[in-house]
């Protein structure tokens, strides 16, 4: 079951005169509707999942505006979707998580970019970089450069983001080039507002279909010989057009005084961090009234050579604030300056680090270095007043008003550097003081499987088996099951991408005596695993074991439906059977198991590892995503109880008198609701295991206690709510008979504290 987005959908219907309030990624969605988009598609992934999730539930909007919505099975399919804009004057937008999604999409993206578009084509990528990111740290910028695709990196405020979506379509159409709009994690989740406009219906849409297909035009094919012309067209026609468009429409923001000895060129997405530190250094305020001339690149590819030379001319030094490696912008700006024979000193990665996120600390350190270096060369004259550059007028409120338009002088720069350095020193002192008080480092808290997750039991079974028969090579994959790489399971030798586990184990199996085990989710299976993994393994007769976690959703990205999801009223699942598709590939050894049966999973895994049968052996581990299940079951149960119906609720419990506190159970389960508490036994000092009230009664505790022959401390509690007369009679009779035989009485106890004090 997917999350409900009723409130967000109401936001998408706002018209001119109302104010949209919400998160960045939903502002993008609204901007698409305002831009007259004809089709939308993509593949889910944080931080851009919501764009699709919300539209999926907005059937009325889609119908009214005639928008086609495609739930793509991977990013390559999403990029290929944009092909509609090659031949037809229809605007399309797709979205995915980058860098990984862009990697998958690369083939289609190159072909799309080469042919070019006549309808605006926008790719909204979540630049999953820095704190909170879950993928390898690379830049989407590289793809934009190599394919000559334009890259927007807007300032993270909603009006700018929305404007960039709208202008992005125009830019795409004006230059026949697809445009990528990248938003970092914090920008996707930034809450803000903008003045809404009416939604616009596309001229060509599902409501207004074209009577005939496009006429045959070989020039629209990414196929030789026209590919050679297309390459030249990108450079000689499309790029100059784009540079001109950027200038004509003031896509980049120019802030601060018109003159000054130094300047800063910053990626739009980093402006807020930059301004915050400039304000701390006394060189700006919270309205962006910077005293240092600043060029904010809301478009980071292409750069307008003219804009760069205009900005740098007359300045002694500029700092390029560009996050991540390689330093594409700095290299390009350096080349522009050199060719224009400008002697402006270029700073960038000499002050700021080449790799890693530009946090406030990193930014402050870089600025301090830049200001210190510049203070010696900058104009020692007093502060001069100077008007704000006309270009800044595109964003009326930003940078206008008090304080703006004063050039920073050299003594001011020196003071700014001192302020930032002092702040960094204070920070170091605070960190050292807390560390001294703590004495020990703090344990990390990585994410883990949810309480009651159906994937946890598989890793429990694998760990029990590992304890009994030794380790095997485990090829891990992308998805919630990647949490199996964390404690207490610590399973997994490599991660090679989404749906790539089986493919990544292909050569491993030939150098191992034991068969490797590959883990894949149903999400990964449909994304890539079926072809890259299973078909290839079947074709090559690879001898390995594949576990497919069939939890029914793409859970890690927000429980979106998959081709194999159960078809139901709310969802889009088609119930396409994983098992049948495996059989169609000629695989023979396929077993299904309910994941919570830890003993069964273990036995099957053992059988797969030791079977005499050659070839791929697949275990389909069935268990519905508990997050989705609870979202459905909990309200249903609550209303049944309220209606007076008989409902049995289950949860687990650990008998505190029987638990001896060795916590083997925790090392095999890792469930968030399985925790520790002080022992009540006055003679035992170590804490004992304890199931807290978050328990959803999945039964894993009991299964582990049995499968690993742990201890008799676990008990299941069945709570019969609104019991019927038969329930009550059976219960009363049992109680009465039991009383006849007598119950056990506990001895009087001293308190644990008193014994603790004695010891």
Partner 1 sequence: MNAMNPIPPPAGPGPGPQPFRLLIAALGGEGGGVLAGWITEAALASGLVASRTSIPGVAQRTGATTYYLEMVAAQPGMLSPVLALNPAPGQLDVLLASELLEATRLASAGMIAPSRTTLIANTARVYTMDEKMAMTDGRIDTARLISALKSAANRTILADFNSAATAAQAPLSAVLLGALAASRTLPIADDALRDAIRREGKTVSANLAGFEAGLKTVAQQSTPASAPTMAGLVPQARVAAPAEFTARTSVVAAEGVARLTDYQSAAYAERYLATLRRFSVLPGMDDAALAELARHLAVRMSVEDVTRVAQLKLRETRIARVNAEAKARPGDIVDITEFMKPGMDEILGMFPPFLARPSIRLTNRFGLSKAAIPLTVTTTRLWGFLRLKFLASLRGWRPHTNKFHEEQIWLARWLALVETTLKRDPRAAREVITTAKLVRGYGDTYRRGLENWDRIATSLIEPALASSPPENFAEQILQARLAAEKDPEGQALNATLAAIQRAQTATFQTAQ
Taking the least distance from each CB to partner 1, the nearer of 372 and 667 is: 667
Q: Which is nearer to partner 1, 178 or 268 (CB)?
A: 268
Stretch that binds partner 1, among 323-331, 501-509, 566-574, 653-661 (CB under 8 A): 653-661
Peptide bond into 683 cis (omega under 30): no
Among 52, 196, 398, 608, binds partner 1 (CB under 8 A): 398
Residue from 13, 68, 186, 349 in contact with partner 1 (CB under 8 A): 186
- In angstroms, rounded to a whole number, what is the distance separating the alpha carbons of residues 648 and 722? 9
CB nearer partner 1, residue 546 or residue 696: 696
Tokens at 27, concatenated = 């502002």
User: Residue 650 corresponds to which tokens in the numbers above?
Assistant: 């289950």
Does residue 485 bind partner 1 (CB under 8 A)?
no
Closest approach, Cβ 681 to partner 1, in A, equals 8
Q: For residue 495, which of 468, 474, 476, 469 has the smallest C-alpha distance?
A: 476
Q: Where are the alpha helices (DSSP H) in 313-401?
A: 328-339, 360-377
Residues 550-579 that bind partner 1 (CB under 8 A): 556
Can you tell me the distance from the alpha carbon of 156 to that of 191, in angstroms, rounded to the nearest whole number? 10
Residues within window 67-106 making contact with partner 1, judged by CB under 8 A: none
Binding to partner 1 by residue 397, rule CB under 8 A?
yes
Structural contact between residues 331 and 247, judged by C-beta atoms closer than 8 angstroms: no
Among 209, 216, 228, 440, contact with partner 1 (rule: CB under 8 A): 440
Among 117, 183, 185, 417, interactor with partner 1 by CB under 8 A: 185
User: Which 320-339 residues touch partner 1, going by CB under 8 A?
Assistant: none
Q: Do 413 and 368 contact (CB within 8 A), yes or no? A: no
Q: Show the tokens assigned to 124.
A: 């909204």
- Closer CB to partner 1, 120 or 523, in the complex: 523
The answer to whether 628 touches 552, Cβ cutoff 8 Å, is yes
Of the candidate spans 184-192, 239-247, 520-528, 616-624, the one that interacts with partner 1 by CB under 8 A turns out to be 184-192
Judged by CB under 8 A, which stretch of 73-81, 111-119, 498-506, 709-717 contacts partner 1?
709-717
Backbone angles phi, psi at 512, to 5 degrees: -120, 140
Positions 2 through 31 that interact with partner 1 (CB under 8 A): 21
Cβ contact 504:533 at 8 Å: no
Q: Is 6 exposed, middle or buried (0-12, 13-18, 19+ CB in 10 A)?
A: exposed
Choose among 69, 118, 116, 78: nearest CA to 97. 78
CB 119 within 8 A of CB 177: no
Q: Is 486 in the site for partner 1 (CB under 8 A)?
A: yes
**638 binds partner 1 per the rule CB under 8 A:** no
Nearer to partner 1, 438 or 511 (CB): 438
According to CB under 8 A, which residues from 287 to 306 bind partner 1? Answer: 287-289
In terms of CB distance, is 7 or 541 closer to partner 1? 7
The residues near 65 (Cβ < 8 Å, ≥ 6 apart) are: 33, 199, 200, 201, 202, 205, 207
Binding-site size, partner 1 (CB under 8 A): 141
By CB under 8 A, tell whether 124 contacts partner 1: no
Nearest of 714, 670, 300 to residue 462 by alpha carbon: 670
Per CB under 8 A, contacts with partner 1 among 29-68 are 46-47
| DSSP label at residue 529 | I
Is the CB of 229 or the CB of 359 nearer to partner 1?
Answer: 359
- Residue number, 220 or 663, with CB nearest to partner 1: 663
Is there binding between residue 132 and partner 1 (CB under 8 A)?
A: yes
* Residue 403 binds partner 1 (CB under 8 A): yes
Give the number of residues written for the chain: 759
Rule CB under 8 A: choose which of 214, 381, 431, 636 binds partner 1: 431
Q: Which of residues 147-176 bind partner 1 (CB under 8 A)?
A: 155-157, 159
Q: How far is CA 431 from CA 435, 437, 609, 639, in A?
A: 6, 10, 50, 50
Beta bridge partners of 86: none
Residue 281 interacting with partner 1 (CB under 8 A): yes
- In the window 716-755, what residues touch partner 1 (CB under 8 A)? 716-723, 727-728, 731, 733-734, 737-738, 741, 743-751, 753-755
CA distance 197 to 33: 9
**Minimal distance, residue 570 CB to partner 1, in Å:** 19
Pick between residue 313 and residue 738 the one whose CB is nearest to partner 1: 738
């Amino acid at each position: 079951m997917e999350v409900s987005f009723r409130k967000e959908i109401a936001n998408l219907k706002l018209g001119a005169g109302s104010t949209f309030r919400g998160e960045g990624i939903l502002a993008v969605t609204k901007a698409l509707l305002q831009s007259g988009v004809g089709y939308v598609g993509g593949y889910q992934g944080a931080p851009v999942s919501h764009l699709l999730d919300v539209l999926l539930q907005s059937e009325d909007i889609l119908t009214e505006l005639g928008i086609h919505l495609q739930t793509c099975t991977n990013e390559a399919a999403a990029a290929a979707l944009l092909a509609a804009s090659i031949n037809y004057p229809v605007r399309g937008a797709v979205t995915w998580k980058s860098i990984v999604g862009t990697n998958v999409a690369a083939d289609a993206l190159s072909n799309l970019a080469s042919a070019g578009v006549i309808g605006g084509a926008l790719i909204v990528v979540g630049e999953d970089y820095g704190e909170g990111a879950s993928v390898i740290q690379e830049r989407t910028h590289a793809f934009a450069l190599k394919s000559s695709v334009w890259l927007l990196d807007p300032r993270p405020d909603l009006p700018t983001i929305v404007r960039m979506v709208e202008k992005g379509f125009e830019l795409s159409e004006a230059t026949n080039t697809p445009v990528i709009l990248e938003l970092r994690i914090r920008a996707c989740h930034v809450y803000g507002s903008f003045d809404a406009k009416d939604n616009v219906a596309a001229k060509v849409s599902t409501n207004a279909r074209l009577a005939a297909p496009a006429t045959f035009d070989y020039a629209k094919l990414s196929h030789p010989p026209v590919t050679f012309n297309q390459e030249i067209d990108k450079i000689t026609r499309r790029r100059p057009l784009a540079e001109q468009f950027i200038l004509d429409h003031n896509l980049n923001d120019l802030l601060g005084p018109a003159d000054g000895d130094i300047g800063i060129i910053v990626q739009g997405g980093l402006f807020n961090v930059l301004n915050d530190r400039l304000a701390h250094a006394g060189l700006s305020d919270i309205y962006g009234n910077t005293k240092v001339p600043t060029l904010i690149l809301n478009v980071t590819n292409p750069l307008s050579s003219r804009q760069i030379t205009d900005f740098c001319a007359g300045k002694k030094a500029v700092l390029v604030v560009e996050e991540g490696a390689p330093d594409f912008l700095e290299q390009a700006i350096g080349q522009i300056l050199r060719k224009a024979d400008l002697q402006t000193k270029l700073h960038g990665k000499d002050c700021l680090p080449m790799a890693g996120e530009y946090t406030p600390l990193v930014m402050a350190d870089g600025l301090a270095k830049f200001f210190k270096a510049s203070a010696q060369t900058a104009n020692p004259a007093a502060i001069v007043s100077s008007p704000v550059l006309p270009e800044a007028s595109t964003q009326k409120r930003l940078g206008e008003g008090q304080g703006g338009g004063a050039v920073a002088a050299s003594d001011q720069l020196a003071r700014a550097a001192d302020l930032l350095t002092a702040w960094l020193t204070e920070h170091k002192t605070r960190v050292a003081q807390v560390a001294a008080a703590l004495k020990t480092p703090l344990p990390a808290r990585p994410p883990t499987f949810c309480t009651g997750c159906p994937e946890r039991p598989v890793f429990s079974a694998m760990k029990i088996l590992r304890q009994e028969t030794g380790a095997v090579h485990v090829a891990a994959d992308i998805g919630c099951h990647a949490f199996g790489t964390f404690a207490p399971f610590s399973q997994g030798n490599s991660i090679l991408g989404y749906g790539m586990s089986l493919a990544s184990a292909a050569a491993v199996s030939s150098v191992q005596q034991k068969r490797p085990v590959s883990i894949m989710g149903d999400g990964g299976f449909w994304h890539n695993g079926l072809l890259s993994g299973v078909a290839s393994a079947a074709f090559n007769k690879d001898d390995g074991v594949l576990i497919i976690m069939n939890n029914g959703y793409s859970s890690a990205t927000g429980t979106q439906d998959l081709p194999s999801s159960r078809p139901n009223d709310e969802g889009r699942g088609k119930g396409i059977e994983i098992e049948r598709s495996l059989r169609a590939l000629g695989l023979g050894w396929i077993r299904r198991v309910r994941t919570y049966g830890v003993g069964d999973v273990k036995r099957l895994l053992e059988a797969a590892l030791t079977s005499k049968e050659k070839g791929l052996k697949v275990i389909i581990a069935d268990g519905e995503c508990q997050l989705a299940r609870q979202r459905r079951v909990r309200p249903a149960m609550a209303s049944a109880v309220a209606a007076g119906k008989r409902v049995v609720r289950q949860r687990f419990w650990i008998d505190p008198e029987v638990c001896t506190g060795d916590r083997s159970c925790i090392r095999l389960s890792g469930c968030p609701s399985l925790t520790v508490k002080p022992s009540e036994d006055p003679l035992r000092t170590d804490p004992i295991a304890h199931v807290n009230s978050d328990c959803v009664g999945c039964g894993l505790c009991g299964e582990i206690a049995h499968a690993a022959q742990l201890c008799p401390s676990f008990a299941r509690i069945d709570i019969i709510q609104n019991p019927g007369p038969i329930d009550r009679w059976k219960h009363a009779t049992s109680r009465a008979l039991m009383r006849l035989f007598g119950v056990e009485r506990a001895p009087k106890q001293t308190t644990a504290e008193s014994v603790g004090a004695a010891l």
